Structure 1
Amino acid sequence: MTERTASTPLLETETEIGFERKMKSPWTRPLIINVLICCLASIQYGFHMSELNAPAKYIRLSLGLSQSQLGLVTSIFSIGGLISSTFASYFSTIYGLRISFIITSIAYIFGSLIESKSKTYTDLLIGRFISGIGGGLAIVYVPIYVNDISPINLRGILGSMTQISVNFGILLAQILAIKWNGLIEWRNIINFGWIIGLINILLVIIFLFESPKWLIIRSKNINEELGFKNLSKLRGLNNLNLLNNEIDIWKIEKQAHSILIESNPHLKNLGFWNYLIDKNYFNSRMISTFMMIGQQFSGINCVIFYGVDILNKVFPHYAVLTNVIISIGNMTITSISSLFLDKLGRRPLLMTSLSLMIISLIFLGIGILNENSIITITSIFTYVGSFAIGCGPIPFLIISEVSQIEIKDIAQSWATDCNWTSVFIIGTMFPIINSLIGGWIYLIFATCTLLFLIFVKIFVPETKGCATYEEVWGGSERVD
C-alpha cells in the first residue's frame, strides 16, 4: 500500500473525481457484506421485540402468568435495552465496534437460552432482560457502524438498513409463529434467537472490518494504516487522493473539536452530562430527543407488541397470518422507500409518512369504536405502511447526521435511551388505557403524531448529501 503523505492534496479536480466515480461503483462486495453482518444485530432486535406477540396466550398458560405479568415480561426487554444503550458508547469508544458486536450477540444468546428454558415467571423475566441488553447495544452500534462505513451518496439507503433489518426480525418471529404457535412449541420460536446470535458472532469474527473512522480518529490507539486499508477495501478504490479526501474530512472535524476543547477544557472528558447541558450540542440533543419520542408515541409498538390481540377482536381466525402479511408489507415498503432517501431527502419522506399515519390512526380509531373490521384492517395496513415510508427508518438514520463527530456515539446512546423509555411507557400503558377507552387511544396517538409532524416541519434540517455537521446546519449554530 502506498503511504499517505502530508503533501496529498485535499481535493481533486471535479473532472478527476467524476471520472473515478464513473469507473467505480460504490456498491462494493466488502461494503455490502459488512452492512449485512452488522444488521444481523438489528434483525435480532426486531425478533426479540416480536417473539412474544403471537404465542402470548400459550406462554401465559404454560407458565401460569397473569395479563399484567405478561405485560411486564414484554416491557422489561426495553429496561435491559435502556441500561445497555446508556453505556454502549463508552464501550465502543474504548474497544471499537467489532468487539462491541460480539458482546451484543453474547447477550442475545444468553437471553434466548434462558427464555427458551424458562420454567417460571422469574426465569422469563431474566431472559427477556438480558435479551434487552443485546437489543440496547445493537440499536446504538448498527446505525453508527453503517454511518461510519457508508459513502455519502449511499448513506440514506444503507442507513435505512437498520429499520429494514428490524422489520425482517419482526417478520421472522411471526412466520415462525405460524408453525410453532402452541402450548409447547412456542419455545422453538425463542430458540431461534440464540441460533441467530451464534451465527452473528462467527460472521463478525471472520469477516467484519473494524470501522475505519474509529481506527483513524476515535480510537485512543490510532491505527491509520489499518483504517486506510479497511476504507480502501470498502470503497474498492486505488485512487489515493479520493481515499485521502474522505479521511481528511474526518480529520478536519476532529481538529475543529480539538480547537473547541482548547477553549472549553470541561469538554475534554466527554460524557452524557456534557452532552445534556452544553449549548454546543443543543442541535443534536433536540433532534435526538424528539425524533425518538415522536416515533414511539405515534403508537407503532402497540402493533408490534399486541398486534395479534388487536386483530383477534376483528379477525379472530386469521390474526397471526394477517399480522405476518402486515409485516411483509412493512418490510417491503421500508425497502422501497430507502431507495428514495438520497434522492427525495429525509424531510419530505418523513413529513409524508407522518401525515399518512395521522389519517390512518383516525380511521383505525373509528373502525375499532364502530367494530368495523374492514376499516380496522385497512387502517392497520395503511398505518404500518405509512410508518415504513419514513417514521421507521429516518429517526435512527438522522441522529448521526445531525451530530458533531466527537459525540455521535453519545448522541446515539441518548437517542436510544429516549426510544427505550418511550417503548416501555407505551408497552406497559397500552393494555391498561386500551381496556379503559378502547379505540379512542388511537386518536391520542394521532394527536401525538400531529405534534411530531409540526416539530419536524419547524426544527429538523435536511441532511441529504451533507458530509459534515456544518453542512447540515448551514455553518451556523442553533443554540438556546
Structure 2
Amino acid sequence: MRDITPCLLFNVLVVSIGSFLFGYHIAKLNAPQDIISCHGHGISLELDIRPCIPMSEQTYGLVTSVFSVGGLVGAVSAGSIADTYGRKRTAMFNSVGFIVGPALMALATDVTTLSLGRIISGLSAGSSVVIAPLYIHSVAPAEYAGTFGASTQVIINLGILVAQFLGLFLSVVPYWRIILAVGGFIGLAQCLLLPFCVESPKWLASVGDRELAYRSLVKLRGRSDVDDELVSFDDTTSPDGENDGPDDATPNQRLLGHSTEANTSTTPKITLYQFMTMADYRRQLIAVVGIMIAQQFMGINAIVMYGVSILGDIIPTGATLINVIVSLLNLFVTAIAARIIDKVGRKTPLLLSIVGMGIFSALLGTGIIFKIQVLSGISTLLFVSSFAIGLGPLPFMIASELVGHEAVGAAQSIGLTTNWLATFAVAYGFPSLRAVVGNGEVFFIFSALSVASFLFVSRHIPETKGRTVDEVWGQARHVD
C-alpha cells in the first residue's frame, strides 16, 4: 500500500469528476421531465421568469438524446487529442464544456438553448469517459491498476445516483434549474483543481519528456526511487503512451486502443475501412457491432432517462424514489460485477444478463399495464441489476478481446460509433414508441429484443477470457 499516496488519490479523484459528470448528465433530465416541459401541476406561464419550457414528449426526447450526438463526437476525437496534448490538458479543456453546457441549460428559456447546452455537455462527457480511464490507468501502481480501473464505471453510476437523488427533492418550480446547474459547479471545481494534478508520466515518457515524467512519478509515489518503473515504460509503452498489459486494463481502455497482446509486432495497423470490408474480420465486425447494439436496445437507458415518467402513472408518489433506489442498486451491483466476471468468464454472465433483462422487462410491462405497483417496482430493480452483472460492463471488454492489436483502433472507432448511435436511437425513439404502443406494452418489445440478443450472443460471441484472439476464433488470422 505504500504507493497509494494522498497525491495519487487526489489526482485520480479530480480526473474522475469527468466520469461522474458523464453519469450525472445522462440521468439529470429524468426526474424533472414533467416540470421542465410544463406538464407538471401548479405551473403558471404568467410569471416574469419562465418557470418551464413547453415541450411535447417527442421534443423532450430530442433534447435528451442530443447528448448522445455530442458524446459521439467527444468520444471519437478524445484519443487523438489526448495523445497530442496530454491527458491532463485534455481534461482541462473538457471541464470548460462541463461549465458552459450546464450554464446554458440552467438559464434556458427555449428548446434551442436547452439543446445546445445538452450537446456541449455531451461533448465533454463523451471525451471524459475516454480520458479518465486512460489517465487513471497510467498513474495507478501496477498491482492496483485493476482496482483503480474498475472505479470508472462505479463513479459513472455514482453520478447517475446523485442526479436521481437531487431530482427527488428539486423537481419543482423553480428549483429544477438547480439540477441542471449543479453539473456546471462540479465542472468548475474540476477546472480549478486540475492545475494541481500531474500529467500522465507514461504519456510524458512517450513524448520524450523523461525529466518531467520522473518528477510526476515521484509526486505520485511519494518517494524518489522510481527509476525502475520509469525504465519499464520503455518496455511496455505503446505509441500512444500506455501499457498494453491484459490484466490491468479497464474495459474502456481495451476498446480505446489498448491491445490485450503485447504490442511488439510489426504487423501493420488495420484501418477502419479494412476492418469493415476484409473477409478475415467479418465475424469480428458482426460481433462488435452486434454486442454494442444489444447493450442499448435492451432498454437500459429508457429506465435511466425516462424512469420517473414511466412509473409516474403507476406509482405517482414513489416513482422518483424508486429511481433513486434503482441507481443505488446499480452502483452496488456494478461494484461487485467485475470480480464475478473475472472468475466465471464473459459469455455466461452476458447470457444470464440478457435473460434476466428479458424476463423482468416483460414483468415490468405487465405491472404497468395492470397497474400492479409492487410488480412494477421490483421488476424495475431487477431489470437494472440484470444489466449491471453482464450487459453493462462486458460489451466494451469483449469488443477489445475479439480482435488483435493490429485492429484495436478500428474496433475502437466502430464500437464507439455504434454504441453512441444506438444510445441516441433509444433516447430519441423511446418517447415516440411509447406513445404509439403504450407505456407498458413498449417493454414487451424490449423483451422480444432480448430473445434476438440471446440468439445473437449464443451464435456470434465466443468466450474470450484467458484466450488469445486466435484461440477465440478457433483459427489463425491472416493479415495482409
Partner of 2:359: 359
Matches of 1:453 and 1:234 in 2, distance apart? 45
- The structure, 1 or 2, with the larger RCO (C-alpha pairs under 8 Å, 6+ apart) is 1
User: What is the TM-score normalised by the length of structure 1?
Assistant: 0.80
What does the per-residue CA deviation read over 1:117-162, in whole Å, with 9 as the maximum and x for residues that have no partner?
1122211111111111112212333344445556777665544433
The 2-side partners of 1:478 and 1:177 are apart by 53
The SS at the match of 1:91 is: helix
After TM superposition, give the deviation of residue 27 of structure 1 in Å: 6.0
Tell me if structure 2 keeps the 8 A contact 1:160–1:338. Answer: yes
* CA 446–228 in structure 1, closer or farther in 2 if over 3 Å, else same: farther
What SS class does the counterpart of residue 339 from structure 1 fall into?
Answer: helix
Q: Which runs of 5+ in 1 are unaligned?
A: 1-23, 262-266
Deviation of residue 377 (structure 1)? 1.3
Q: Aligned in 2, Cα 1:283/1:193: closer, same or farther, shift over 3 Å?
A: farther
**1:441–1:182: structure 2 CA closer, same or farther, 3 Å change rule?**
same
User: For residue 93 of structure 2, what is the aligned residue in structure 1?
Assistant: 103
- Aligned residue for 1:350, secondary structure, equals helix
* Letter of the structure 2 residue corresponding to residue 77 of structure 1: F
C-alpha distance in structure 2 between counterparts of 1:334 and 1:463, whole Å? 20
Question: Could you tell me how far 1:103 is from its partner in structure 2?
Answer: 2.0
Which residue does 1:255 correspond to in 2? 264
TM-fit CA distance, 1:239: 8.3
Letter of the aligned partner of 1:309 in structure 2? S
Pick closer, same or farther for the CA change 1:132–1:364 going to 2, 3 Å.
same
Range with greater deviation from structure 2 (330-339 or 394-403)? 394-403
Alignment of 1:162-311 (within 5 A): 162-210=152-200, 212=202, 214-216=203-205, 221-223=207-209, 248-250=235-237, 253-256=262-265, 259-261=266-268, 272-273=272-273, 276-277=276-277, 285-311=285-311
* Aligned position for 1:50: 27
Q: Within 5 Å, which residues of 2 pair with 1:322-471?
A: 322-402=322-402, 404-405=404-405, 408=408, 411-438=411-438, 439-460=440-461, 462=463, 464=465
What per-residue deviation string (whole Å, max 9, x for no partner) do you get for residues 60-114 of structure 1?
1212223222121111111111222232232123223222222222111110111
DSSP 3-state at the match of 1:304: helix
Measure how far apart 1:302 and its partner are: 0.4
Q: Distance in 2 between matches of 1:103 and 1:280?
A: 39
**Corresponding residue SS for 2:267:** helix
Query: Alpha carbons of 1:363 and 1:228: their partners in 2 closer, same or farther (altered >3 Å)?
Result: farther
User: Does structure 1 conserve the Cα–Cα contact (< 8 Å) formed by 2:98 and 2:184?
Assistant: yes
Q: Secondary structure at 2:66's aligned position in 1? A: helix
Classify 1:68/1:46 alpha carbon distance in 2 versus 1 (closer, same or farther; 3 Å): same
Match of 1:12 in 2: none
Instruction: Confirm whether residue 127 of structure 1 aligns to residue 104 of structure 2.
Output: no
Three-state SS of the structure 2 residue aligned to 1:314 is coil
Question: In the alignment, what sits opposite 2:248?
Answer: none
Aligned to 2:243: none
- CA 390–227 in structure 1, closer or farther in 2 if over 3 Å, else same: farther
Cα deviation for residue 191 of structure 1 reads 1.2
Q: 1:26 to 1:285 in 2, by over 3 A?
A: farther
Q: Distance between the aligned counterparts of 2:363 and 2:402, measured in 1?
A: 34
What is the one-letter code of the residue matched to 1:428? Y
Match of 1:9 in 2: none
| Change in 2 beyond 3 A, CA 1:375/1:310 | same
Unaligned stretches of 5+ in structure 2?
A: 39-51, 239-260
CA contact (8 A) 1:115 1:127 kept: yes
Query: 2: CA distance between counterparts of 1:127 and 1:151?
Result: 37
Q: Distance in 2 between matches of 1:226 and 1:469?
A: 37
Q: Which residue of 2 aligns with 1:142?
A: 132
1:116 to 98, 106, 118: 106
Distance 1:211 1:246, change over 3 A: closer
Post-superposition shift, 1:174?
A: 1.3
> Quick one: distance in 2 between partners of 1:203 and 1:474?
49
Q: Percent identity?
A: 34
Cα separation, 2, equivalents of 1:149 and 1:449: 39
Residues 54-73 of structure 1 mapped to structure 2, 5 A cutoff = 54-61=31-38, 62-73=52-63
- Name the aligned partner's letter for residue 315 of structure 1: I
* Deviation sequence 1:201-236 (CA, Å, 0-9, x none): 333332244161x4455xxx3445655776787789
Q: 1:100 to 1:472 in 2, by over 3 A?
A: farther
Shift of 1:331: 0.7
CA contact (8 A) 1:334 1:389 kept: yes
- Which residue of 67, 71, 95 maps to 1:81? 71
User: Distance in 2 between the 1:72 and 1:64 partners?
Assistant: 13
Which digits, 9 at most, give the CA deviation of each residue in 1:373-412, with x for residues without a partner? 2221111110011111122222234445555556656644
Count of matched residue pairs: 443
Q: C-alpha separation between the residues in 1 aligned to 2:456 and 2:221?
A: 36
The answer (yes or no) to whether the contact 1:345–1:463 under 8 Å persists in 2 is yes
Please say which of residues 306-315 and 385-394 is displaced more in the overlay. 385-394
Which segment is superposed worse, 300-309 or 421-430?
421-430
* SS class of match (2:454): helix
Offset at 1:464? 4.8
Residues 267 and 406 of structure 2 are in contact (CA less than 8 Å); yes or no, is this contact kept in structure 1? no
Q: 1:244 to 1:455 in 2, by over 3 A?
A: farther
TM-score with structure 2 setting the length = 0.80
Question: Which shifted more, 315-324 or 237-246?
Answer: 237-246
| Shift of residue 371, structure 1, vs aligned partner | 2.6
Distance change (3 Å), C-alpha of 1:352 and 1:479: farther
1:287: how far off? Answer: 4.5
Q: Offset at 1:40?
A: 1.6
CA contact (8 A) 2:58 2:432 kept: no
Q: Is the 8 A contact 1:157 1:342 kept in 2?
A: no
Which amino acid is the alignment partner of residue 431 of structure 1? P
Q: Which residue of 2 aligns with 1:20?
A: none
Return the alpha-carbon distance in structure 1 between the equivalents of residues 134 and 24 of structure 2.
21
1:36 correspondence with 2:13? yes
